[in-house]
Amino acid sequence: MHTRSLGPFTVTALGLGCMNLSHAYGAPPSAEQGEKVLRAALDAGVTLFDTAALYGFGANETLVGRVLKADRGRITLCSKGGMGGVKGDDGVTRRVIDGRPESILRHCEDSLRRLQTDVIDLYYLHRWDKKVPVEESIGAMSRLVEQGKVRTLGLSEVSAATIRKAHAEHPITAVQTEYSLWTRNPEIAVLGACRELGIAFVPFSPLARGFLCDAVHDVTAFDAKDIRRAMPRFEPAHYAANLKLLPGYKALAREAGCTPAQLALAWLLHQGENIIPIPGTTSVDHLREDLGAANVKLSADLLQRLDAHINQQTVHGHRYSAQSRMEVDTEEF
């Protein structure tokens, strides 16, 4: 497996995003299937695993902790706090962003217990709580480092300005944000800030939530709880326009001698040595396909044509709803 540097850690160039084993795209797979995917990743040599308190409201961390416990010493384990589930008076658990120092400390303790580990290698602030100065949230996280409960810190879905403020409070090891051929927002300022400050960049949803692996054709068939139902790009009118990009994209994949999914991941790997994508999947076969992207070499000409074919001007619709756009702190095209 090819490797890259993630702060003090040497990790595989492609990690595993564990979210959809418990969360987001409709009914999650069984715990048995989730375990199969995690074990297949271990067997393939993957050393970077990414989860969060939010995913399945703790269920994902519980699964990851149980399955990976025996191999804890040979992996880099990442999780996120500052956003999770809170049960209301009506008994319904809802997503809440909470970056108060006391909440951050409590979230970490809960994650450590579910993950069955004494320390989290990379702990992200999942969302910046705009009611709390980011320096206060990062200050609390730095105390976790001092206590030996966390080794390094990261940020998710933040702007270049916020990265600089946080990094001045405590060194930031990684920034995690959506990035793919069809989501280029990090190119505005975040990628430059990360390069300048020596921060690794970890793209999530590198396969455009299924679009770039040619897996989504009928958006009306989404499960009622599928988060893509609230994303403008997957609204029928926008998606019909986006589907017109696929034939040309698949032709470029054939030219590169790889699958569409591998082309999307290879494009990301070619954007810089500090970039470490974390594709997720519920399928062992798709996992193995994704990992093959590390061996795909793309010419400068093919990269240029890819850039021209799928970019912020050719994709229709925002990536997030208006409400979700208010919750993130990223530069937007």
E strand or H helix at 257:
none
The answer to whether residues 69 and 116 touch, using CB atoms and an 8 Å cutoff, is yes
E strand or H helix at 209:
none
Question: What pLDDT shows up at residue 91?
Answer: 86
Mention every residue, 6+ apart, whose C-beta is less than 8 A from residue 38. 16, 18, 21, 49, 63, 64, 67, 68
The answer to whether residues 80 and 126 touch, using CB atoms and an 8 Å cutoff, is yes
* CB atoms inside a 10 Å sphere around CB 69: 11
Question: What pLDDT shows up at residue 314?
Answer: 98
Question: Cα(31)–Cα(33) distance, rounded to whole angstroms?
Answer: 5
Dihedral of CA atoms 139, 49, 272, 189 in degrees, nearest 10, equals -40
Question: What pLDDT shows up at residue 251?
Answer: 98
Query: Is 239 among the residues known to form the active site?
Result: no
In angstroms, the first-to-last Cα distance of the chain is 35
Query: Which has the closest alpha carbon to 54: 13, 24, 16, 10?
Result: 24
How is residue 128 written in tokens? Answer: 């910046």
User: Cα separations (Å) of 282 from 37, 46, 126, 295?
Assistant: 7, 15, 22, 22
Question: What pLDDT shows up at residue 198?
Answer: 98
For the chain, what are the domain ranges? 3-327
E strand or H helix at 76:
strand 76-81
Strands of 172-178's sheet, edge to edge? 16-17, 48-50, 76-81, 120-125, 150-156, 172-178, 200-204
Question: What pLDDT shows up at residue 88?
Answer: 87
Find the radius of gyration of the CA atoms of the chain: 19
Question: What pLDDT shows up at residue 66?
Answer: 98
The answer to whether residues 107 and 308 touch, using CB atoms and an 8 Å cutoff, is no
Query: Which has the closest alpha carbon to 84: 111, 112, 57, 121?
Result: 57
Residue 57 DSSP code: G
Q: What angle separates helix 260-269 from helix 246-256, to the nearest 10 degrees?
A: 70
Question: What pLDDT shows up at residue 89?
Answer: 86
Residue type, 299: S
Which of 25, 55, 123, 249 is catalytic? The answer is: 55
Sign of CA dihedral 201, 155, 326, 135: negative
* CB atoms inside a 10 Å sphere around CB 160: 21
Each residue's pLDDT, cut to its tens digit, for the chain (333 residues) gives 899 999 999 999 999 999 999 999 999 999 999 999 999 999 999 999 999 999 999 999 999 999 999 999 999 999 999 999 998 889 889 999 999 999 999 999 999 999 999 999 999 999 999 999 999 999 999 999 999 999 999 999 999 999 999 999 999 999 999 999 999 999 999 999 999 999 999 999 999 999 999 999 999 999 999 999 999 999 999 999 999 999 999 999 999 999 999 999 999 999 999 999 999 999 999 999 999 999 999 999 999 999 999 999 999 999 999 999 999 999 998
CATH topology of domain 3-327: TIM Barrel (3.20.20)
